[in-house]
Structure 1
Amino acid sequence: MLTLILLWLLVVQGCDASVLVAGSGTEKTAFPNLGLRGFEVIEDAKTKLEAACPGVVSCADILSLAARDSVVLSGGLSWQVLTGRRDGRVSQASDVNNLPAPSDSVDVQKQKFAAKGLNTQDLVTLVGGHTIGTTACQFFSNRLRNFTTNGAADPSIDPSFLSQLQTLCPQNSGATNRIALDTGSQNKFDNSYYANLRNGRGILQSDQALWNDASTKTFVQRYLGLRGLLGLTFNVEFGNSMVKMSNIGVKTGVDGEIRKICSAFN
């Protein structure tokens, strides 16, 4: 999903489309990125733009605009995307270690977001982008079996939901099977992702942790509009946090290039 590409990968080198570069040892080849999709959509847009106005629109701008539009087309609100970014000239798989991982604790997630100038509310908001899209079983199968020392599954998973996931992700097979990150609403941009966390139906360990940790649970509750808490409007706050994130490490002028194709440096 384009939103996921932006959320998890924009902040490695900054908003410079480094994840789009193909080849051995690039960010695209790192294990956490193997489940990403939508690259061909960006490349197709780049091909059409190069034909119309060569050397003008960067892959970084295309990615930022596509992320915004994918949210809007899924029922979310729009936000202003500033353009003029240039594409980076560095893409290394080792840099992906700085990105949130599927099994990260809340403390680790907060540290990684804080390193980019993003706060706890930004964390809970941006991860809410998982309301659309899918992931592969290999990124959460550790929760389904032998999670605890006595061989049981992750106790934070709703028992009835656990049996469904175990069927969808068979043991010793199905590693690449695709599972909706927001069960029941994977194609609609809404706050149901947070309701699933409340009900023990978060897919990734790092997602469910947002409900189980007091420092992030409050924001989840506010997005759900629970009584007694000052509510937040997820659609509005998501756009605000996306603007903050899309301004991280922006390259302009001679700092970067405008690639001819998004999958390769010039």
Structure 2
Amino acid sequence: MVYVYTILLQSGGPGWDVPKGRKDGRISKASETIQLPSPSFNVSQLQKSFSQRGLSLEDLVALSGGHTLGFSHCSSFRNRIHNFNATHDVDPSLNPSFASKLKSICPIRNQIKNAGTTLDASSTTFDNTYYKLILQGKAIFSSDQVLIDTPNTKNLVSKFATSQDAFYKAFVKSMVKMSSINGGQEIRKDCRVVNLIS
């Protein structure tokens, strides 16, 4: 028996079957999100984070494609556009005109509380634009841009940028694999409600 999930309704993404029986947690803690990969991670840090969860290099690059959707506040990429290091004010891996755009959205003394930008130009459509932007030096997070720093990850980025179908297939495979990562306490009778303890 399987449940059928479709990636973010109306986003044009693929659907996949997920086996029943995944254990969900009974509580949610903000402190547990520190285990998530940082937007400033390099490739080896990303690879270590994913491999600790039984996920491969291909899973890493495929699942990163989820960044084709969404929005980022300035705080998650400010380090790339202001005082990057002792030599460069801006991360040299950023496309210069794109960096200028980001600096105008997020000035050094930003006064706008929720300032930020979408993760790609088609941020409401689940597609392979994200990978094309990485190849152009237009990734928002450094953890995305570093995916072209090693031959293995760069080859996957190029493959997914060239073929949306290849990206969809790899993403679905990795999502099903990720859905088997366990750590919860109960199998829900109703997935929206914590089981009653009798």
TM-score, length-normalised on structure 2?
Answer: 0.85
- Letter of the structure 2 residue corresponding to residue 104 of structure 1: F
Change (3 A) 1:131 1:257: same
Instruction: Please state if 1:225 is matched with 2:155.
Output: no
Q: Distance in 1 between matches of 2:43 and 2:176?
A: 23
Identity level (%): 37
Q: Distance in 2 between matches of 1:243 and 1:257?
A: 17
| Bigger proportion of residues as strand | 2
Change (3 A) 1:260 1:197: same
Q: Distance in 2 between matches of 1:259 and 1:222?
A: 40
Q: Is the 8 A contact 2:7 2:13 kept in 1?
A: no
Instruction: Please state if 1:126 is matched with 2:63.
Output: yes
| SS of alignment partner, residue 117 of structure 2 | strand
Q: Which residue of 2 aligns with 1:242?
A: 175
Q: Is the 8 A contact 2:21 2:187 kept in 1?
A: no
Deviation of 1:265 (Å):
9.2
Map Cα deviations across residues 148-191 of structure 1 (whole Å, 9 max, x no partner).
20351100100011111011112122463131111x21111111
Q: Which residue of 1 aligns with 2:80?
A: 143
- Map residues 79-90 of structure 1 onto 2, 5 A cutoff: 79-89=16-26
Aligned residues: 194
Instruction: Please state if 1:256 is matched with 2:186.
Output: yes
Map Cα deviations across residues 196-218 of structure 1 (whole Å, 9 max, x no partner).
00000000010111122323111
Q: Is the 8 A contact 1:138 1:175 kept in 2?
A: no
- Letter of the structure 1 residue corresponding to residue 22 of structure 2: R
Q: Structure 1: give runs of 5+ residues left out of the alignment.
A: 1-61
2:35 to 81, 98, 103: 98
Q: Which residue of 1 aligns with 2:54?
A: 117
Q: Which residue of 2 aligns with 1:165?
A: 102
Q: Is the 8 A contact 1:145 1:152 kept in 2?
A: yes
Instruction: Please state if 1:210 is matched with 2:140.
Output: no
- Map residues 168-187 of structure 1 onto 2, 5 A cutoff: 168-173=105-110, 174=112, 176-182=114-120, 184-187=121-124
Q: Is the 8 A contact 2:57 2:153 kept in 1?
A: yes
| Bigger proportion of residues as helix | 1
Change (3 A) 1:143 1:259: farther
Q: Distance in 1 between matches of 2:159 and 2:190?
A: 44
- Letter of the structure 2 residue corresponding to residue 215 of structure 1: N
Q: Distance in 2 between matches of 1:220 and 1:139?
A: 22
**CA-atom RMSD, angstroms?**
2.9
- Letter of the structure 1 residue corresponding to residue 78 of structure 2: S
- Map residues 69-84 of structure 1 onto 2, 5 A cutoff: 69-70=7-8, 73-84=10-21
Q: Distance in 1 between matches of 2:193 and 2:80?
A: 34
Q: Structure 2: give runs of 5+ residues left out of the alignment.
A: none
- Letter of the structure 2 residue corresponding to residue 205 of structure 1: S
Deviates more, 1:113-122 or 1:184-193: 184-193
Q: Is the 8 A contact 1:137 1:175 kept in 2?
A: no
